[in-house]
Amino acid sequence: MKLEVKDLLPDYFEQERKTTSEIWGKELSFSNGDLVNIVAPSGTGKTSLTHFLYKMRESYTGTILYDGKNLKNCSKEDIAALRKDHVSIILQDMRLFEEQTLLENLEIKRQLNPYHPQERIIEMARALGIDHRLNALAKNCSYGEQQRSVIIRALLQPFDILLMDEPVSHLDDSNSRKAIGLILEEAFKRNAAVIFAELERAAYFPATQLYHL
């Protein structure tokens, strides 16, 4: 899958942002296998960019294309299919069902589009050190435990592009490395592109492209 952004800029940013950004106002193309690290200090639009690419918001000028199709022209059915089979996301706000256990949250996602068997949930939870918390209600789990669950949730579906907005912000260095390792393992299996927006460059992420937002 090919993702292109052309002359993109949030409606609420002044045009001058285009002169200092390596993303806003530029023409860029990402495709399978690319590992893209976007370094974005607070206030530069990192979360906005992630939301735009997933069509959660449309408050921008410019164009976003998936395989040549303008995202703004996609129907609800097109978007549902895109998110089900081709684009996965790890958001900062974790959006777990608080009254469900971590395992129930993950199983709901897996059953929507079974790509992995349920056993893979256990394996990934063990790799990230939360297998002992799978039967705990999400609301009773720490932010770190919830964030690791959200990472697993994003990896349970097929995808060609994985969008990540500060995916390890609640994890210490050791757990961050484990999480990124698992993400890369799953991305490599799919030959997927990973677009990783973070406050600073992640030394443990082998970026093939680096941009400053």
pLDDT of residue 44: 87
Q: At what angle do helices 102-112 and 143-155 cross, to 10 degrees?
A: 20
Cα–Cα distances in Å, from 122 out to 2, 46, 102, 131, 162?
32, 32, 11, 6, 21
Q: How far apart are CA 156 and CA 151, in angstroms?
A: 9
User: 18 with 3: CB under 8 angstroms?
Assistant: no
Nearest CA-CA partner of 38 in 49, 29, 27: 49
Nearest CA-CA partner of 145 in 162, 167, 130, 125: 130
pLDDT of residue 204: 87
Give the global pTM: 0.94
pLDDT of residue 111: 94
Nearest CA-CA partner of 71 in 126, 128, 83, 99: 83
pLDDT (tens, 9 = 90+) of the chain, 213 residues, equals: 999 999 999 999 999 999 999 999 999 999 999 999 999 888 889 999 999 999 999 999 999 999 999 999 999 999 999 999 999 999 989 999 999 999 999 999 999 999 999 999 999 999 999 999 999 999 999 999 999 999 999 999 999 999 999 999 999 999 999 999 999 999 999 999 999 999 988 888 999 999 999
Strand order in the sheet with 2-10: 27-31, 2-10, 60-66, 69-70
Nearest CA-CA partner of 110 in 156, 69, 68, 43: 156
> What domains lie within the chain, and their CATH numbers?
2-212 (3.40.50.300)
First to last CA, the chain: 23
Cα–Cα distances in Å, from 72 out to 1, 27, 55, 61, 90?
17, 17, 8, 11, 21
pLDDT of residue 203: 81
pLDDT of residue 137: 98
Q: How far apart are CA 141 and CA 130, in angstroms?
A: 10
